């Protein structure tokens, strides 16, 4: 799919559209519906951001618009009873994400306690007031309508190419694997590991110095 435009909300009544990214390719990644805490949501996004950057798939930069989130929030007393979701689009920071979830959970809890039902809709969260306002009702209609791009032919990947790329990925350590190795092999703390992962290109230099007999703590 392709990017359309960046939305910049000046206040509750004014929004600007930046079309500089229009037409750029986008990759959508979906998570399972099992994140049950704002901190867990942030942690999941941090891991995904680190993976995208490490594999050079994307710079995954919130500020530059190369990473954006859509959050669906639902409160359920009984997992067997379906409930409506409330969506927030263009979430562009970790604080934004957590505060948005906290405020919406409180809003839905108040609605449920009053005996009413939460309506399915898209809302916009104001990071300054910590309040949200409705943008549009979903009305059970299709939320996205994808159209085939007539300028892009069908792309077929042969099994050999898929296997070759899989082999490359299998040899490459993921950020999660690197973190575990730095902690377990070199005895670094979580704080030290997170600091090292901000500049992953320096890790091979770190390992080379350790191999030469240097103390991991001193090198770090």
List, as one string, the DSSP characters of 35-65.
--SHHHHHHHHHHHHHHHHHTTS----TTTT
pLDDT grade, residue 98 (50/70/90)? very high
Give the model confidence (pLDDT) of 46-96 as tens digits: 989 988 888 888 889 988 888 989 999 998 877 787 888 999 988 999 999
pTM: 0.74
Question: Count of CB atoms within 10 A of residue 123's CB?
Answer: 19
Burial class (CB in 10 A: 0-12, 13-18, 19+), 127: middle
For the stretch 39-60, pLDDT in tens is 999 999 998 998 888 888 888 9
128 shares its domain with 163: no
Please name every residue paired with 8 in a beta bridge, in sequence order, or none if there are none.
16
pLDDT digits (tens, 9 = 90+) for 103-129: 999 999 999 999 899 999 999 998 889
Please tell me the predicted confidence (pLDDT) of residue 72. 94
Q: Based on the domain organization, do 96 and 18 belong to the same domain?
A: yes
**84 and 119 inside one domain:** yes
**What are the pLDDT digits (tens) for 132-170?**
999 888 655 555 556 677 777 888 889 999 999 899 888
Of 157, 12, 7, 148, residue with least CA distance to 70: 7
188: containing domain: 159-219
Domain co-membership, 53 together with 132: yes
Q: Are residues 177 and 105 in the same domain?
A: no
pLDDT tens digits along 165-220: 899 888 888 888 888 988 998 888 888 888 888 777 788 888 888 888 888 877 76
Please report the pLDDT score of residue 106 as a whole number: 95
Q: Are residues 25 and 102 in the same domain?
A: yes
């Amino acid at each position: 799919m392709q990017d359309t435009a960046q939305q910049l909300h000046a206040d509750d009544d004014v929004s600007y559209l930046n079309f500089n990214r229009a037409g750029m390719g986008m990759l959508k990644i979906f998570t399972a519906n099992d994140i049950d805490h704002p901190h867990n949501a942030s942690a999941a996004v941090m891991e995904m951001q680190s993976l995208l950057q490490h594999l050079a798939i994307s710079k995954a930069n919130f500020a530059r618009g190369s990473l954006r989130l859509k959050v669906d929030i639902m409160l359920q007393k009984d997992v067997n009873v379906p409930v409506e979701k409330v969506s927030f689009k263009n979430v562009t920071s970790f604080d934004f994400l957590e505060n948005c979830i906290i405020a919406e959970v409180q809003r839905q809890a108040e609605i449920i306690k009053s005996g009413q039902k939460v309506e399915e809709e898209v809302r916009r969260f104001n990071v300054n007031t910590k309040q949200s306002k409705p943008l549009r009702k979903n009305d059970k209609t299709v939320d996205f309508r994808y159209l085939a791009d007539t300028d892009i032919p069908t792309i077929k990947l042969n099994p050999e190419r898929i296997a070759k790329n899989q082999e490359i990925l299998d040899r490459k350590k993921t950020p999660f694997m690197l973190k575990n190795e730095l902690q377990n092999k070199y005895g670094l703390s979580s704080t030290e590991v997170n600091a090292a992962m901000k500049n992953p290109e320096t890790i091979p230099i770190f390992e080379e110095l350790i191999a030469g007999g240097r103390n991991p703590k001193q090198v770090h």
